[in-house]
Amino acid sequence: MTNLKKVFEKESQNQKGVLVCVAVAFLATFFPWFLVLLGPFGGIAMNGWHSFGLLTVLASATLIALWVLPKFGVKINLPIKKDILQKWLAVAVLVGPAFWLLQTGFNFSSIGFGLYLALAAGIGAVYFSFKT
């Protein structure tokens, strides 16, 4: 079994940045993305596993899997270059929270912490994946 920490340390700065941002984006999908307060009756919270958030879940899980699986000897045949796929998936990680924000009509009083975190992590993933 490969020691992932040692393998991670050998990655380039950009690859480390992409992986950390994508992992943060994936974790952010579990936090509330949208909150509706109903006064004394409580409220409703939705996390990133709804609507456009699923794009972030799938893209981040795919990016993490594309990095982890080869470290365990799994051969992955891709129809396009891995770096191009990584860039497209990083954009997809960002598009999920961006579209969710558009869907809410920029109602900042109802946006939860998870959406802000996913948006920042998505921006970071795109930045590090396109950085030369």
Asked if the structure places residue 1 within a domain, the reply is no
How much is the pLDDT for 1?
Answer: 46
Phi then psi for residue 44, to 5 deg, are: -125, 135
Interval 123-129 mean pLDDT: 96
Residue 40: which domain range?
12-130
Asked if the structure places residue 71 within a domain, the reply is yes
Interval 32-47 mean pLDDT: 86
Asked if the structure places residue 6 within a domain, the reply is no
Count up the domains in the chain and report the number.
1
Q: Pick the closest to residue 24 from 131, 126, 114, 88 (CA basis).
A: 114
Interval 100-126 mean pLDDT: 90
Assign 123 a pLDDT band (cuts: 50, 70, 90).
very high
Asked if the structure places residue 23 within a domain, the reply is yes
The two beta strands, 32-37 and 43-47, are antiparallel
- The sign of the CA dihedral 68, 69, 75, 80 is negative
State the chain's mean pLDDT as an integer.
Answer: 90
Q: What is the DSSP string of 38-53?
A: -GGG-EEEEETTSTTH
